[in-house]
Amino acid sequence: MLKVSRSSGSRRFVLPVILLLLLSLLSAACDSVEDEKLPVADYGKDGSQFARRFARTYPGRGPGSDQEHAAGDFIIKTLKEMGYAPVVTTFTLPVEPMEDQEPESAADDTDITVQKAPSSRNIAVFVEGKGFTRTGVDGQQTRFRKQVIIGAHYDTPVSIEEIEAAAAETKATESEKPSGGSGPSLAEYTGIQDNASGVAALMTIARELKNYDLGYDVVLVAFGAGSADQAGSRFFAGQLSRAEIAATDAMYCIDSIYAGDKVYAHSGRNSILGGDRKDYEKRRKLYEATDVFFENLLYSNNRYMLYTNQSSFLMELEGYAEPVVYREWSLNDSDYLPFDELGIPIVFFESYDYDEKSVAEMKESHNPAFGATNGRIRGTGFDSTDFLEQLLNSTRSSAARVTDRPLDDQLTRRINNTAFIILEALAKGNHDADAR
């Protein structure tokens, strides 16, 4: 048998080859681990299924109504199933005076009917974080706690009485209705856009939050009576102490993210300094959210696009002596307002279309399907689960061909990716400290 001697030189040659092979295997293993992390925001359909069930079961959940109360019970039940212990706070809504009501005289012994003030509820859960450690220039370490508040209102601007009245009218005039019509009536209203979609994103965050180890304390709140001048969030913000306000790094608000043309993230009006000047510290959390969008290639991976309002034209705004630049904030009121007024940095997510040269031209959607309401979806018959499902998913097949892979429906995609952006923004922590 021919024997080949192995000199020290050959051993020196073989060893690097073996090391290269090992490095290749390790690299392949790392690539495999990376592949397992993709796709991002892959939270399944729990969020969209919640939104559909919530909207269809409680369509007329007006502020202070029985349906709003039942919808709140459903949220409480869902949070308990996740392992949370929700804190429920009841607050009273202002009573509108009855028209032409004469005051009763003291001598009148007839029964006096006292109008009972309706009430609503905020539903909150608290998740404790690790806290933060800041190291000074002298090497001294300071430990501190910070919190973020994430909220969405669960009521609707349309009552069950309005829905039932529209249904009765539709039935009475069914034979007279022209073919094609002008879109769905309030009889088909479910509030899937405003704001079952936002609540579903909040519930998705609640579920996925258990997979994060955050520095922040996190307060999740389903606000009642948001359609009544943000009554729930105003009550919640009004209960915050000065210390709690100072400890709040940001408030994230989610409202109507499903059916508008584009998903936007905004900073607060408190970030405006007048003219073209803005407060960067008040906008830092907005930029962290957009960083998450870009870092995770959410458009390439998931066909989810996040916009900021880049209108950049001057406009008059109450409280400012000079015109201000309309950029990266919203004129649409929502539950962020009370926190904005307290000076807390806010990030507001909504779907709309701000890509116009004037506020008058801006719409929730430029889709001709909403022409009967001039592009408005919230508070109209167009905010119908069945109608929006059919309309918004009809173009999904062409988008799927572009990416060469199946895509989630628009409701699932927007709920999951919005939740992902907020969670990953929280994971960035406090900008000048480490999670301890």
Closest-CA residue to 339 (of 422, 423, 419, 244):
244
- Give me the mean pLDDT over the 351-369 stretch: 96
Query: pLDDT confidence of 133, banded at 50, 70, 90?
Result: very high
pLDDT score of 21: 54
Examine the pLDDT at 400 and tell me if it is beyond 70.
no
Would residue 111 count as lying in a domain?
no
Residue 16 lies in a domain: no
Lowest mean pLDDT among 134-138, 172-176, 295-299: 172-176
CATH assignment at residue 160: 3.40.630.10
- Ranges 135-144, 244-253, 281-290: which has the least confidence: 135-144
Q: Find out whether 13 and 376 touch, Cβ atoms under 8 Å.
A: no
- Mean pLDDT is lowest, of 29-43, 181-195, 348-362, 407-421, for 29-43
pLDDT for res 170:
82
Q: Residue 38: which pLDDT band, with cuts at 50, 70 and 90?
A: low
Res. 404 pLDDT band, cuts 50 70 90:
very low
Distances, alpha carbon 28 to alpha carbons 33, 37, 107, in Å: 9, 14, 92
What pLDDT does 408 receive? 76
The answer to the question of residue 298 being in a domain is yes
For position 35, what pLDDT does the model report? 46
More confident residue, 37 or 204: 204
Can you tell me whether residue 39 is helix, strand or coil?
Answer: coil
Range picked from 11-20, 66-75, 98-107, 133-142 for highest mean pLDDT: 66-75
Question: Is residue 3 one of the residues assigned to a domain?
Answer: no
pLDDT tens digits along 188-234: 999 999 999 999 999 999 999 999 999 999 999 999 999 999 999 99
Q: What pLDDT, on a 0 to 100 scale, did the predictor assign at position 403?
A: 46
Is the predicted pLDDT of residue 8 greater than 50, yes or no? no
Closest CA to 82 of 205, 192, 196, 252: 205
Structural domain tally of the chain? 1
Instruction: Confirm if 393 and 410 have CB atoms less than 8 A apart.
Output: yes
**3-state DSSP assignment of residue 360:** helix
The reply to whether 1 falls in a domain is no
Q: Is the pLDDT of residue 14 over 80?
A: no
Question: Whole-angstrom Cα distance, residue 84 to residue 93?
Answer: 27
- Give residue 109's pLDDT: 54
Closest among 167, 188, 103 to 383, alpha carbons compared = 188
Question: Higher-confidence residue: 231 or 98?
Answer: 231
Q: Residue 116: its pLDDT value, please?
A: 77
pLDDT value of residue 114: 61
| Residues 89, 127: Cα–Cα separation, whole Å | 17
Q: Which two tokens stand for residue 415?
A: 């709920």
Confidence at residue 108, expressed as pLDDT on a 0 to 100 scale: 55
Average pLDDT over residues 359-375: 96
Q: In terms of residue numbers, what domain contains 295? A: 42-93+117-172+181-435
How far is Cα 266 from Cα 243, in angstroms, rounded to an integer?
A: 25
Question: Is cis: bond before 195, omega within 30 of 0?
Answer: yes
Position 436 scores a pLDDT of 85
Residue identified by tokens 């003291």 is 106
Residue 152: the pLDDT is: 98
What average pLDDT does this structure show over 362-384? 97
- Per-residue pLDDT band for 107 (boundaries 50, 70, 90) equals low
Lowest mean pLDDT across 110-119, 157-166, 364-373: 110-119
Phi/psi of residue 252, nearest 5 degrees: -105, 125
Amino acid in the structure at residue 91: F
What share of the chain has pLDDT > 70, as a percent?
81
pLDDT for 12 beyond 60 = no
What integer pLDDT is reported at residue 95 of this predicted model?
73
- Model pLDDT for residues 313-326, shown as the tens digit of each residue: 999 999 899 999 99
Dihedral Cα 313, 316, 319, 324, nearest 10 deg: 20
Rounded to the nearest angstrom, the gap between the alpha carbon of residue 404 and the centroid of all alpha carbons in its chain is: 29
Tell whether 310 is covered by a domain: yes
Q: Average pLDDT over the chain, rounded to whole?
A: 88
